[in-house]
Copies of this chain bind each other. A is one copy, B any other.
Amino acid sequence: MIPFLQKLKHIQRKNNSLLCIGLDTDVMKVPEFLYKYEDPQYEFNRLIIDATKDLVCAYKLNIAFYESVGEHSWYTIHHTLARIPEEIVTIGDGKRGDIGSSAEKQAHSLCYDWEFAGTTVNPYMGKDAVEPFMKRKDQCAFVLAITSNKGAKDFQYLKAKGKPLYEHVVLQAKKWNTKKNVGLVVGATKPEDLKRVRKIVPTMPILIPGIGAQKGNLEATVRYGCDKNGELAIINVGRGVIYAGSGDEFADKARASALKYREQINNYRQKYFG
């Protein structure tokens, strides 16, 4: 059993990449030629994975894009995960969290059935609601701190005891991190706040969505999201990579896009971390 952080660092170095590809595969958007297969969603993922697996540190699957397809999604997730090389980090993005016995059940699917290396969890219900996702040292729970959507401002920035709510979440998550398997989610759309978070948790992994379609700032994301060695940021791009092309050559286009993102990220790493 390889501890999560060790696995993450290994693949970030081996593939020289902080890029995570978001396999949020909308079955309605896969190229037509895949419709001849029994599971077009899996075939799409397979071709993306095969075309990009030397360029990424992680793949993130938003569970909703699968469960919305119906009963077969359970297999689609299994098959997709089986196609991803063992050494690459997989993240099950379900934003889960519930009271004890229910959270155990949620974690059962994500951590023991599919066996994602990382999961995303929602902190609103507190520690015991996310604890089942932090049981194994080889699995990391990424706690939502600042999200990349418009509604992030509704509650995450409310000030309590002089600090925004998200900062309370960050401080708690840091306390929960006794096994070095807790991370945070911070949207790329708020670079100044990402900087603030990284200061509080210098050695925790941060999953950063919002690059690409959501127009987050990549330079600031690299500069403020990385640890002091220019690592431990997991920079997610979804639609910007997987839908870079739309025809028969979509996987090549995805590879070209992933290459471009990896290069941009590495240029900024070079600039700020030498």
Contact = CB atoms under 8 A, between A and B. Distances in A.
Nearest to A145: B124
A144 interface: yes
A95 B124 CA distance: 10
A266 B253 CA distance: 64
Contact of A158 (B26, B93, B168, B214): B168
A26 B172 CA distance: 31
Interface stretch (A9-17, A146-154, A215-223): A146-154
Contact of A108 (B68, B108, B122): B68
Nearest to A62: B102
User: Copy number of this protein in the oligomer?
Assistant: 2
Contacts of A148: 99
B125 A65 contact: no
Interface of A: 24, 26, 62, 64-65, 67-68, 70-75, 93, 95-103, 105-106, 108-109, 113, 122-130, 144, 147-156, 158-161, 165, 168-169, 172, 209, 214
Given A68-B105, A70-B74, A74-B70, A127 B99 contact: no
B71 A72 contact: yes
Contacts of A124: 122-124, 144, 147, 155-156
